[in-house]
Structure 1
């Protein structure tokens, strides 16, 4: 018998394995992120993704999908590849065969074939957990039993590795991870390896306590997800085909309609389906009829308050203006327009004057030191605006709490001395940078170069930290290069280059994940 104890936030607190008298403690930080499982130390990155578990290192791509796991102590490495629907195509392990997976339109795995050509059939329980494995001739080759959270405690044939695991996930016996669509489940701790952001949608509709790492609401053996994942009883089959017996038979159990939501793979595949067009009237009639037959509350009818002749490009927000109260702030065709009412404070009017008629660099906004940073170019001389601020250089805090910093500089370009002025406005979590004396193209070039320097600095710092922690870098550094990294933070002869073009993806201009290090002789070979 296995016993589990939980803390007030729903985290597994103590684990009593089987008939053993030993209690296995689990520890967490203030954000419910696991830090220790018995003697195994866990480390999460700044995004809450599992980065290290003991000697094992986990790496992710920009979509949050696990792409690589390796062990610093044992030396093994596993790489994962995905298709366009975020489904795992294969796992590349050293010395292993390639296993191919085949899915139907509902996202269910219906076939497994290894590179030698052998096929196997799997008997599962009603949650999709495999219990027995048979050959194509019906011979039993493997039998399995699990703990409540999916750890295998009986395996009749350990030499036969099975890719299907607990709740029908793709099982990796080396890492003890289960792959479910876009998420991975850690069997050892009974938790997701990354935050389950789908919780926000549910909490937004029905506020309730939540835990971003909790698996199946701490009820992993429940049948709550049977209808959605495996149609296993008569009622669920009837609901699937549109028959609702609870409408005609008094006392018949009402199925939970949220369980019949199509899977992620199905919804994604439907995006490319060539479906016949349907009119808005027909769609609304279908919705109303479905609600009536299901005894649901009729959907609300939203009546537009727009007027004929209204300009479609002009959008208004009920939120407070980033400049302050009684100040309109709008961007139209790349130009800023501000207007202040009589009740606006003097400081708000000053900031509105600075931003008015400035050109906005729309594609170049970044998060810098926690600030949502945006860039503008103001034509003309800065004297009038600086005089209104009563500030020609330095820092000043206005009465409305907005912080303003002014700096000026001169430079010689084409035998001509040019004067520049930079005004930084910090309001809440926003940061506005207004540049005087430059053209829009010149400012774009300057901002992109600053972003590139931030990306390079972050990429080198990350490589240095990886070498310091004994982890592998983005390329196999030699021992001499590692010593350079640790002492100087860089390796001579290498420079950082963008992986994806910032002309096509300007939002990645300051991303250290978009940088790879190459020698001059390697440029053009990759």
Structure 2
């Protein structure tokens, strides 16, 4: 009735904020968290079915039916995610989080999540407020009319092919031409997609330390093992016994398609006990022992990773040793990359070479008097760049500079004579 008529004020996403009566008085005021959680409701007895982002609120479960899915505003995640989209196409790496609501952007509208690459005239016109589909009257009036279809929706019964008259195809084509301002027809060849399909690059890799095992590092650098109760209790017990409480170095490298992890124990007598524990894993790891000048080492090799456990050494000294070896690997790979660039006719990327140095680099693979130095410091905040050849730049050593001065002096003296 006119006495019970209310006016609902929403935000840019369709979420109700306030309710007014016919006299302009505020009847209900709603305040929410960014993800739709209810923080304030001045009139909870007045039920409004439209809720967060224009979805339908279930008064019993407090769940919101939005975009043909159920959304829980208390946790900010989907209850029934669109997993079928994940199995068909993956445009962005963040699309793999199927429970995440709008890629953790609840403020913007759902339409703003689609990136407009501004590759045609219509997209530029929309930027300035001109929508061709709304300007052509028959376009939006035709969409409002019900168009019955005899198509069987089930793909198991019949292929998805419709019978369309030729006259209708001509009419639709001519109507689409009214909304085009260009006179150059679009090419009929297949155009490149704006985004790559990342789905073929996603592969499953089993956990390195076993299923249900989480290895983390404390502020003191110690390894903390967290397990989830499951069937592989033997693996969890062994990992807890061997790695828990050891020093977990903040170095993670990759070599020969294997992840490298490093652990340190200051007690050298723990090696025999850990060796006996690791035998319980069977063929999960290939365990070998190594004797070094500064301690003992156990190496656990699997198809995915190489885990090193050092005994009887200081964690900082071991970290310094690993960074030193990683720097050597980075320098060797940098020389190989620089040689291939110069051989291909490039001037090089890590130093300014003259003609003689380029010839020496191509023939010998390196240039005497140059040493590789880190662009960014790897001993502090960037240890992961220690074995990265992109972090290496070649500089002249002091002996090389002195030799160049002597050569220049001899050439000058010879000219004077």
TM over 0.5: no
The structure in which a higher percent of residues are strand is 1
> Normalised by the size of structure 2, how large is the TM-score?
0.45
Larger Rg: 2
